[in-house]
Structure 1
Amino acid sequence: MFAYAQAEGVELRLDATEVQMRRPRASRGGRRAFVPGKKKQNTMKATIVADHRGRTLWTDSLRPGRMHDATAVRTEGTDSCFRYFPEMEVLLDDGYLGLRRDHPGLAITPPRKPNKSALPDVHERWKRHRHAHSSDRITVEHALADHKLWKQLIRWTHRRENLPATYRAIAGLVSDRTANI
């Protein structure tokens, strides 16, 4: 995906979403791993990469919902692509600040908020930069929303082992549909 994006001059955007699922049985080991702090529900986390037009280029294997966004990217090995493709910039949200620290200039996150004692023009500049960054990243949010339009991904009620394959299939269908737009 990074090689394709570099060769074609495509700007990448990366983000994660959570798919709500049924609670695992009480006798099942690792049951707490699927309850993130954000939603307080049993979820699995999917990370996707989209292009500037909102097409899904790649999705990873789903992880337990409790896993942090940056940890999921590191576990999958996607962060190692930054070393092999030093010209590729990837737009990220605040959940990937650790990647920005590890790969400065390549992993682009929104600017940090200035402290209260900063001058008003610094705060105004921060607002403009943050708005511009979110405007550039909105296509990945739309790609995630397109996935969630499918009833199966609103709340997964089947076996947990089948969710990753179904998510990848739906992401592929959505990507093919948006490629013609």
Structure 2
Amino acid sequence: MVGNESRAAIISDRRITGLSADVIAELVAEVGPLWHERHQVKLGCRPRKRAVGAGAKHRLVFIDRLLATLVHLRHAATHDVLACWFGVDRSTITRAIGEVRPLLAERGCTVAAGVRLRTLAEVIGHLGAGGKTGIIDGTEIRVRRPAVGRKDREKFISGKNKQNAVKAMVLTDETGRLLFYSPAQPASCADITHARQLGLVKHLANGQPVEILADTGYQGLGAQTGGQMVTPPHSKFKKNPPDWYEEIHERQRKAHSSRRIRVEHGIAHLKNWRALARHHGRREHMSDTIQAVAGLLSHQQNVTRKPDQRQ
């Protein structure tokens, strides 16, 4: 395990974990008891010859497990490197990340102190209650190519980038505050199909009126949602449009683009976490990784926002 000085250095330097010391302290207080509870349940569920809690103690205490997971998510550090840093075996790091990452993924996106959004329905309700505008977009994360002969191997090939990737849907408010990050889907899934699978049309129909800005990948949802999904205007001329129309159409397109640019900034902040820039691990862990990073980033953003921006 790391010494107290090394642990303090990791916590105090935001460049290492991407989080401030105050946020890490809150994570320890919140996630620590959940990890301990699940660990005790796991120990009690299997046949035992000793009482729960007997035997050797963990060399890697919970705070070190949390820090190893944060460094892995922030910098995509390999388990071997983390094992050398924390002075334990590689399998210990793998087990620690596998236990802590799902707990971080379940936290949801923080929008205020003690207020978290975990589902798309909660996000739509939050936007509707506050009369706010949402911005939606899809993003792709490169992953390792599936093995030869694996079923549905071609599903991960992106039609846009011609690379093996997974896709997720991001939803922010008009200020760029992260509200929702969907589980991963193979990149061959179209943006509009992914939105329908997540139930976006149903949630918009059943909730309060909400304006959602989207790009051309979601054209067609406007009619299905009563105009709540706003996409760039269609060109009414397929060939030889008049000059005056081209000028108006370009002005409308740029106005729409300038309103939804905030979601691009939100995606850029997420991709600063190297685990989402390009994923080298197992694809089945992608959903937990995506949602864990989104929860951590939104928590840090909420802490660093000025008081008047948290309304």
TM-score range, shorter chain: over 0.9
Answering whether residue 289 of structure 2 is matched by residue 163 of structure 1, we say no
Match of 1:126 in 2: 249
Match of 1:10 in 2: 132
Contact 2:125 2:208 in 1 (8 A): no
Match of 2:174 in 1: 52
Gaps of 5+ in 2: 1-122, 306-311
Residues of 2 paired with 1:16 and 1:78: CA distance? 13
Answering whether residue 201 of structure 2 is matched by residue 79 of structure 1, we say yes
Greater mean alpha carbon deviation, residues 110-119 or residues 57-66: 110-119
Gaps of 5+ in 1: none
Please give the secondary structure, in 1, of the residue aligned with 2:220. Answer: helix
- Sequence identity percentage: 36
Q: TM-score, normalised by structure 2?
A: 0.56
Answering whether residue 233 of structure 2 is matched by residue 111 of structure 1, we say yes
Answering whether residue 209 of structure 2 is matched by residue 65 of structure 1, we say no
RMSD of aligned Cα (Å):
1.4
**Could you tell me which amino acid in structure 1 is paired with residue 259 of structure 2?**
D
TM-superposition CA deviations, 1:59-89 (whole Å, max 9, x none): 1111110000000011111221121135211
Using CA pairs under 8 Å that are at least 6 residues apart, name the structure with larger relative contact order, 1 or 2: 1
Structure 1 residue 27, shift from structure 2 partner: 2.9
Residues of 1 paired with 2:241 and 2:163: CA distance? 39
Structure 1 residue 155, shift from structure 2 partner: 0.9
141, 153, 166: which one aligns with 1:31: 153
**Could you tell me which amino acid in structure 2 is paired with residue 173 of structure 1?**
L
Contact 1:13 1:51 in 2 (8 A): yes
Residues of 2 paired with 1:145 and 1:11: CA distance? 20
Structure 1 residue 157, shift from structure 2 partner: 0.3
Residues of 2 paired with 1:125 and 1:176: CA distance? 41
Please give the secondary structure, in 2, of the residue aligned with 1:165. Answer: helix
Residues of 1 paired with 2:229 and 2:168: CA distance? 19
Name which one, 1 or 2, has greater alpha-carbon Rg. 2
Residues of 1 paired with 2:136 and 2:199: CA distance? 14
Answering whether residue 274 of structure 2 is matched by residue 151 of structure 1, we say yes
Residues of 2 paired with 1:77 and 1:7: CA distance? 19
Contact 1:86 1:106 in 2 (8 A): no
Q: TM-score, normalised by structure 1?
A: 0.94
Please give the secondary structure, in 2, of the residue aligned with 1:71. Answer: helix
Aligned residues: 181
Residues of 2 paired with 1:141 and 1:130: CA distance? 16
Deviating 4+ runs (over 6 angstroms): none
Answering whether residue 264 of structure 2 is matched by residue 141 of structure 1, we say yes
Residues of 2 paired with 1:86 and 1:177: CA distance? 29
Greater mean alpha carbon deviation, residues 85-94 or residues 29-38: 85-94
Please give the secondary structure, in 2, of the residue aligned with 1:156. Answer: coil
Residues of 1 paired with 2:301 and 2:264: CA distance? 14
Contact 2:129 2:208 in 1 (8 A): no
Residues of 2 paired with 1:122 and 1:103: CA distance? 27
Residues of 2 paired with 1:105 and 1:42: CA distance? 34
Mapping of 1:83-102 within 5 angstroms? 83-85=205-207, 87-102=209-224
Match of 1:174 in 2: 297
